[in-house]
Amino acid sequence: MASTIITSNNQSAQAFDSKANYKPALVLLTSLFFMWGFITCLNDILIPHLKALFELNYTMIMLIQFTFFGAYFLMSLPAGVIVGKIGYKNGIILGLVITAIGALMFLPASMYISYVFFLSGFFVLASGITVLQVAANPYVAILGTPETASSRLNLTQALNSFGTTVAPVFGAFLILSDNVEGETLDAAQHAAAVQVPYLAIAGVLFAIAAVFVFAKMPVIADSKSEKIETKEISGSAWQYKHLVLGALAIFVYVGAEVSIGSFMINFFSEDSIAGLTEADAAKYVALYWGGAMVGRFFGATSMSNTTSSNKFLFSAIIAVFSILLAWYLTSEIQLAFTFFAFVVLNFVAIMIGKNKPARTLAVFALAATILVTITVFSTGLFAMWTLIAVGLFNSIMFPTIFTLAIDGLGKHTSQGSGILVMAIVGGALIPLLMGAMADAIGVHTAFIITVLCYAYIAYYGFKGYINKNVQAEI
């Protein structure tokens, strides 16, 4: 793949230095992945909360995801231009400030009890996160050796998943705790439940932005690797077929992942599935996102260049952690081991992938396809657990697709990143389509849409990722 030039703030551009220590910068960047994961997953908690508050159907409430992820589509290309002009570091600071302003907008939205105000807040939040995505994802991918780019992105995405795991528990306690059957609260009390969480989020985001202002971060500029011959291609990144196919893979992946998370609470509340309360169902949503975290830790470990003994040790620690996580969220040890059974299947899938990103992606997507298909054609707790298990196999998809899609883009890497982030609009359109289907045929059957999404991702992992514009020594 095409490499990059990394420099310090006070040095002229120089080739990548394998002896340089980029760990401090990487550690600081992980905070961004945690925060936007946390914020994004809170949408899954607000969906049932605002659905009840404004008495909306599934199609109308999915306007939350339509607005949130629609911002990615509208703002990603401008964000790519902005980041290209002001640099990755300044782009990150700008993204944090915009996101914080979006969080503050939930205060007037809750005071005036306005769905339009809420949607406006979601749009500004997502606009800020879009700038962060455009700046941070390629930054992490090239902040080290090209061979371990997938491993680094999987590691930072694991922290992203930690945010998505914590968010439902946090939201269930502060937002859904008042949704208790038999209690009657007025609209103002329900709306006010979002004020403290989002004011706290704004404060944290402003604090992180201040840290980045004074932090010394490597300066990155694109270049070509001496070991790779890249065909001269005029025009733009759109001429790379593997990038375009990768953008479609991002589109359906985010659409499927967001759709599942968005409908989980209502789905698990159905009597034919588990009959859970919203607060209890939120804990299982946390387990769904926690599975993505576990899978990403497995992926980061298996694709890293550490020794075999260390990989075994780290994998054992992750396995134990998965049991403790499930035990904490479900409060039942037998349910924890039910989840662990799927963790074992996830680890087996990684072994089948043989540390090859494209192959692993294909195997994981095929597993997700099978799991959602089982969910559609079954009921009860079995349908609930097969849907939760999809989170484990979602784990490595985004970072792996992203890395494969920007492979060999050279000077078009920044634009390619913008295109891929733009494709996150799948999280706006597919949930909206699923909401319309849920209103027409029911939530359960509507999950068939996600089956088609994962099937395409499997194709991309098997064949679509191949970059015909780059010849490299393999």
DSSP code string of 277-336: -HHHHHHHHHHHHHHHHHHHHHHHHHTS-S-HHHHHHHHHHHHHHHHHHHHHHHS-HHHH
- CA 159-288-301 angle, to 5 degrees, is 40
Backbone angles phi, psi at 370, to 5 degrees: -65, -45
Instruction: Check if the beta carbon of residue 151 is closer than 8 Å to that of residue 303.
Output: yes
Which residues contact residue 317 at a Cβ distance below 8 angstroms, ignoring those fewer than 6 apart? none
Token pair belonging to 440: 């027409």
- The domain locations on the chain are 4-227+235-469
pLDDT at 230 (0 to 100): 43
The residues facing 228 across adjacent strands are 472
Per DSSP, the three-state class of 354 is: coil
Cα–Cα distance for residue pair 262/431, rounded to 1 Å: 8
pLDDT at 153 (0 to 100): 67
Cα–Cα distance for residue pair 403/259, rounded to 1 Å: 23
Backbone angles phi, psi at 15, to 5 degrees: -65, 160
pLDDT at 21 (0 to 100): 59
Instruction: Check if the beta carbon of residue 455 is closer than 8 Å to that of residue 279.
Output: no
pLDDT at 438 (0 to 100): 95
Cα–Cα distance for residue pair 162/295, rounded to 1 Å: 11
Length of the chain: 474
Question: Nearest to residue 131, comparing CAs of 429, 431, 432, 424?
Answer: 424
What is each CA distance from 435 to 117, 251, 356, in whole angstroms?
21, 17, 36
Token pair belonging to 39: 């914020």
Instruction: Check if the beta carbon of residue 379 is closer than 8 Å to that of residue 272.
Output: yes
pLDDT at 428 (0 to 100): 92
DSSP code string of 122-180: HHHHHHHHHHHHHHHHHHHHTSS-GGGHHHHHHHHHHHHHHHHHHHHHHHHHHTGGG--
- CA 13-232-221 angle, to 5 degrees, is 20
Question: Nearest to residue 369, comparing CAs of 262, 447, 264?
Answer: 447
What is the separation of C-alpha 310 from the centre of its chain, rounded to a whole number of angstroms? 27
Instruction: Check if the beta carbon of residue 425 is closer than 8 Å to that of residue 68.
Output: no
Token pair belonging to 295: 């899978």
Helix and strand numbers, DSSP H then E, in the chain: 20, 4
CATH of 4-227+235-469, one of 1.20.1250.20, 1.25.40.10, 1.10.3720.10, 1.20.140.10: 1.20.1250.20
Cα–Cα distance for residue pair 139/28, rounded to 1 Å: 12
Cα–Cα distance for residue pair 41/388, rounded to 1 Å: 15
- CA 201-204-205 angle, to 5 degrees, is 85
pLDDT per residue of the chain (474 residues) written in tens, 0 to 9 = 322 222 333 333 334 445 555 677 777 888 888 898 899 999 999 999 899 889 999 999 999 999 999 998 898 778 888 988 888 889 999 999 999 999 999 999 999 999 999 999 999 999 999 898 888 877 776 676 666 666 676 667 667 778 888 999 888 887 876 654 445 556 777 788 888 889 999 999 999 999 998 887 776 655 444 344 444 445 678 888 889 999 999 999 999 999 999 999 999 999 999 999 888 999 999 999 999 889 878 877 876 677 888 888 988 999 999 999 999 999 999 999 999 999 999 999 988 988 788 999 999 999 999 999 999 999 999 999 999 999 999 988 988 898 899 888 878 887 887 788 788 889 999 999 999 999 999 999 999 999 999 999 999 999 988 887 654 433
pLDDT at 417 (0 to 100): 78
The residues facing 5 across adjacent strands are 15, 221
Question: Nearest to residue 443, comparing CAs of 166, 42, 61, 43?
Answer: 61
Instruction: Check if the beta carbon of residue 262 is closer than 8 Å to that of residue 431.
Output: yes
Cα–Cα distance for residue pair 257/431, rounded to 1 Å: 9
